[in-house]
């Protein structure tokens, strides 16, 4: 069953398209005959069709997509037997596999993982080895006997994935009412739509597993049903795979995008890899390469509009075509707001990339309700909120020497080093009213603590850590200012936290790594010191990436030059922290645990308004009656979402909050989903 689980779960985790590889094109008829098994019930779906389908999907892959598949092959193909068993424990726990069978299943999993990339290279050797391996066939036969079905073959998995009652058929039926734009956005914005993608896959698997009746049913579904393996077991195994093998998510994203390009509406021509330049005729005129700005609403392939001279690449857009792409995006998303048009430059072989956006493009975007224009190339994405500009802008990104950062710190570098510059109306501008979001590709992360990865800003030959949210093989960080940025593993240690190490040590390290909390000097953190209102405002705003240079405050006791002024301004503007009065903030006053919980609740609600409050959450605290009426809703929200827990059945709402407690609640907040 492990092998079955490997094909129906691990390959599904790599994605439907990758899973297709697992059930690939060669008949196991010879093996069946060798074992004396009838093949009368072989899968109805043509293996030639499956091969053609998979090759069509793989033809859509870009160079970066191929790198994502190769990264998955290397990581998944090298996981240990112990990790394999941990990932698939929800299924394995319901089986009584002996040691040899577990070893066979583990070997099969690593073999199939290599197929994900090998098929791109038209190398089917590994597939043949998997199919003709006697141990694999024997294991399938054992599973069939255990489940009480006549036989279980590789063709059954092909049918499970690609047959007319299989996973792909169910998925296509479920997305039949979705536009190509919706699907592309679902994939491209995976950090915010991951639940939607999971829901689609979960529902499809559940429906297919329900095809388990003997007459007209799917053999794999019968096996799963008879062995009492539930869709929930499979769902949890998929989650485990994603958590334990970080490269799985980018591989899924690449293959899902390729599938949509290949099979939804008209296929999109894959990125050729090297940008096409303009050509000059004998009469001296310049011919602009032909692009299709409306092929995929929301994603405009502009790779042919990139020219490279020396070590600098320049995007040369045609305003009229960009406006067409705006219209296509708006038409495909009627009534929706906050739309983003992504300009995909593809793979650019130059250290410096310049992407100018004319005033006509900026004004048209605002007039048509386009909130953002994203520039993406080489795995890097910069998303620009255009509403703040009224002139032409030009984004220039340079990949600079690693020594720009490594000469300043011994921390391990986990990305390239990028220098960002934006001109507005031809004038270099380094600060913005609305933050520009940078999504940096990670590299060399093996052995690094991913929770400690943080975007670092180079300021006067020093590094300032800004935080960032790790999303698969990228880290996302909104930046209100431009400079040089890189990602490092920021290991921060303090010599005075032994007394709180058990319950706050890890949290202090992570929050400090993100730059949201700092020590007090001389290697100390002072975990039991009280937290002031100004300090907590900074912690919260930095931790949740809410910095905004346009925020203003009018408190008489907050100087505009005070270190905490910008954080108080954002917190007050968003209603996270209120003043003691309209004119007084009282920055040096300490905060209570109830006040801290309320501030956290307001901050989370500002970002996730759909988050719910359980009115009965306060009942877990025997001292809930001591919570001020004005703070009860906030504490209830925080308790409902496990942002605050209490101690020995009490919340101690009026106790002054300590720095260690603040670090713990900030840690829980940045991990709130």
541-566 pLDDT tens trace: 988 888 887 788 888 898 888 998 98
Q: Provide the pLDDT for residue 166.
A: 67
What is the percent of the chain with per-residue pLDDT over 90, rounded to a whole number? 41
**Which is more confident, 92 or 265?**
92
pTM of the model: 0.59
Please tell me whether residue 101 adopts helix, strand or coil conformation.
Answer: helix
- Is 244 a residue whose pLDDT tops 60? yes
CA dihedral 31, 35, 39, 40 (to 10 degrees): 170
What's the mean pLDDT when you consider all of the chain? Answer: 79
Q: Which of 472, 479, 484 is nearest to 248 (CA)?
A: 472
Write the pLDDT tens digit of every residue in 574-632.
888 888 888 888 889 999 999 999 999 998 888 888 888 887 889 999 999 999 999 99
pLDDT at 210 over 70: no
Q: Which residues pair with 368 in a beta bridge?
A: none
Assess whether pLDDT exceeds 60 at residue 476: yes
* 213: pLDDT strictly greater than 80: no
Predicted confidence (pLDDT) at residue 392 exceeds the cutoff of 90: yes
Q: What's the pLDDT score for residue 369?
A: 93
Task: Inform me whether the pLDDT recorded for 412 exceeds 90.
Answer: yes
Report the DSSP pairing between strands 393-400 and 370-377: unpaired
3-state SS, 358-425, equals: CHHHHHHHHHCCEEEEEEEECCEEEEEEHHHCCCCEEEEEEEECCHHHHCCCCCEECCCEEEEEEEEC
pLDDT at 138: 79
pLDDT of residue 200: 59
Contact indicator for 399, 417 with CB cutoff of 8 Å: yes
CB-neighbour burial class of residue 615 (10 A; exposed 0-12, middle 13-18, buried 19+): exposed
User: Is residue 10 over pLDDT 60?
Assistant: no
Which pLDDT belongs to residue 473?
93
270 close to 62: Cβ distance less than 8 angstroms? yes
Range ranked top by mean pLDDT from 89-103, 214-228, 471-485: 471-485
Q: What's residue 232's pLDDT?
A: 72
> Which is nearest to 384 in space by CA: 337, 438, 345?
438
Binned at pLDDT 50, 70 and 90, residue 182 comes out as low
Q: Provide the pLDDT for residue 119.
A: 55
Alpha carbon separation from 322 to 67, 224, 367, 634 (Å, rounded):
29, 50, 14, 46
Q: Which of 54-58, 61-65, 475-479, 488-492 has the lowest mean pLDDT?
A: 54-58
Separation of alpha carbons 108 and 11, rounded Å: 11
pLDDT band at 206 (very low <50, low <70, confident <90, very high): low
Task: Report the helix count and the strand count for the chain, using DSSP H and E.
Answer: 27, 19
pLDDT score of 151: 75
What pLDDT was estimated at residue 280? 37
pLDDT band at 26 (very low <50, low <70, confident <90, very high): very low
pLDDT for 174 equals 63
pLDDT at 8 over 70: no
CB of 192 closer than 8 Å to CB of 184 = no
**Predicted pLDDT of residue 18:** 34
**What are the Cα distances from residue 84, in Å, to 10, 109, 601?**
10, 8, 38
- Over its C-alpha atoms, the chain yields an Rg (Å, rounded) of 28
Does position 121 have pLDDT exceeding 90, yes or no? no
CB neighbour class for 460 (10 Å; exposed up to 12, middle 13-18, buried from 19):
exposed
Residue 519 and residue 660 in contact, taking contact as beta carbons nearer than 8 Å: no
pLDDT mean over 113-130: 57
Whether 235 has a pLDDT exceeding 80, the answer reads no
Kindly state the helix (H) or strand (E) to which residue 323 belongs, with its residue range: helix 319-332
**pLDDT for 133 beyond 80:** no
Cα separation, 91 vs 436, in Å, equals 44
SS (H, E, C) 197-253: HHHHHHHHHHHHHCCCCCCCCCHHHHHHHHCCCCHHHHHHHHHHHHHHCCCHHHHHH
Nearest in space to 500 (alpha carbons), one of 646, 643, 659: 659
Q: Residue by residue, what is the 3-state secondary structure of 537-588?
A: HHHHHHHCCCCCCCCCCCCCCCCCCCCCHHHHHHHHHCCCCCCCCCCCCCCC
The Cα 452–Cα 492 span in angstroms is 9
Q: Return all residues near 567 (Cβ < 8 A) that are at least 6 apart.
A: 534, 537, 538, 540, 541, 542, 547
So what's the pLDDT on residue 278?
A: 40
Say whether pLDDT at 538 is over 60.
yes
- CA angle, residues 279, 284, 287, in degrees to nearest 5: 35
Query: For 158-167, 361-370, 475-484, which range has the lowest pLDDT when averaged over its residues?
Result: 158-167
Residue-level pLDDT at 25: 29
Measured N-to-C along each axis, helices 231-244 and 190-209 cross at an angle, to the nearest 10 degrees, of 150
85-112 average pLDDT score: 80
CA angle (486, 490, 495) in 5-degree steps: 155
Q: What is the pLDDT of residue 326?
A: 95
To the nearest 10 degrees (0 to 180), the angle between helices 125-132 and 134-147 is 50
């Amino acid at each position: 069953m492990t092998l079955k689980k490997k094909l129906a779960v691990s390959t599904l985790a790599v994605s439907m398209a990758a899973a297709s590889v697992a059930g690939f094109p060669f008949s196991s008829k010879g093996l069946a005959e060798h074992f004396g098994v009838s093949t009368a019930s072989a899968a109805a779906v043509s293996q030639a069709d499956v091969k053609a389908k998979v090759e069509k999907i793989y033809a859509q892959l870009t160079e970066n997509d191929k790198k994502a598949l190769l990264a998955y092959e290397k990581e998944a193909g090298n996981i240990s037997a112990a990790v394999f068993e941990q990932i698939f424990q929800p299924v394995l726990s319901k089986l009584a596999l002996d040691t040899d069978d577990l070893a066979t299943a583990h070997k099969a999993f690593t073999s199939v993982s290599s197929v994900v990339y090998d098929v791109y290279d038209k190398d089917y050797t590994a597939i043949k080895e998997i199919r003709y391996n006697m141990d694999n066939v024997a294991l399938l036969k054992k599973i069939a006997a255990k489940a009480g079905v006549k036989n279980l073959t590789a063709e059954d998995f092909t049918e499970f994935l690609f047959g007319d009652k299989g996973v792909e058929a169910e998925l296509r039926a479920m997305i039949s009412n979705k536009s190509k734009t919706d699907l592309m956005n679902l994939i491209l914005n995976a950090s915010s739509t991951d639940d939607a993608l999971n829901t689609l896959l979960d529902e499809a698997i559940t429906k297919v597993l329900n095809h388990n009746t003997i007459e007209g049913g799917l053999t794999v579904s019968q096996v799963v049903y008879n062995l009492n393996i539930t869709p929930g077991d499979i769902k949890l195994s998929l989650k485990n795979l994603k958590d334990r093998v970080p490269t799985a998510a980018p591989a899924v994203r690449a293959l899902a995008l390729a599938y949509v390009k290949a099979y939804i509406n008209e296929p999109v021509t894959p990125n050729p890899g090297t940008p096409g330049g303009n050509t000059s005729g004998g009469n001296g005129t310049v011919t602009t390469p032909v692009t299709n700005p409306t092929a995929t609403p929301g994603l405009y392939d502009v790779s042919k509009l990139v020219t490279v001279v020396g070590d600098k690449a320049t995007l040369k857009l045609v305003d009229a075509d960009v406006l067409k792409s705006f219209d296509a995006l708006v038409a495909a998303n009627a009534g929706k707001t906050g739309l983003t048009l992504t300009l995909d430059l593809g793979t650019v072989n130059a250290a410096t990339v310049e992407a100018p956006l004319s005033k006509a493009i900026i004004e048209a975007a605002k007039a048509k309700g386009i909130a953002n224009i994203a520039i993406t190339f080489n795995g890097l994405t910069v998303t620009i909120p255009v509403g703040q500009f009224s002139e032409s802008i030009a984004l220039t990104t340079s990949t600079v020497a690693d020594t720009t950062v490594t000469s300043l710190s011994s921390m391990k570098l986990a990305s390239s080093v990028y220098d960002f510059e934006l001109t507005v109306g031809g004038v270099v501008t380094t600060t913005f009213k609305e933050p520009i979001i940078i999504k940096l590709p990670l590299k060399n992360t093996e052995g690094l603590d991913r929770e400690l990865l943080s975007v670092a800003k180079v300021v006067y030959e020093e590094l300032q850590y800004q935080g960032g949210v790790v999303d698969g093989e990228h880290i996302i960080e909104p930046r209100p200012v431009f400079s040089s940025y890189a990602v490092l593993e920021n290991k921060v240690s303090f010599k005075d936290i032994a007394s709180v190490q058990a319950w706050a040590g890890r949290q202090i390290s992570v929050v400090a790594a993100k730059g949201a909390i700092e020590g007090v000097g001389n290697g100390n953190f002072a975990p039991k010191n009280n937290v002031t209102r100004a300090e907590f405002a900074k912690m919260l705003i930095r931790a949740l990436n809410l910095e905004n240079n346009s925020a203003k405050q009018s408190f008489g006791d907050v100087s505009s030059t005070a270190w905490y002024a910008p954080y108080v301004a954002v917190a007050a503007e968003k209603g996270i922290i209120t003043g003691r009065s309209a004119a007084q903030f009282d920055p040096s006053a300490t905060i209570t645990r109830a006040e801290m919980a309320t501030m956290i609740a307001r901050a989370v609600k500002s970002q996730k308004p759909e988050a719910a409050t359980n009115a009965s959450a306060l009942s877990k605290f025997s001292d809930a009656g001591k919570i001020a009426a004005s703070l009860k809703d906030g504490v209830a929200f925080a308790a409902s979402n496990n942002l605050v827990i209490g101690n020995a059945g009490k919340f101690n709402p009026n106790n002054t909050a300590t720095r260690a407690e603040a670090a713990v609640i900030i840690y829980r907040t940045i991990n709130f989903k």
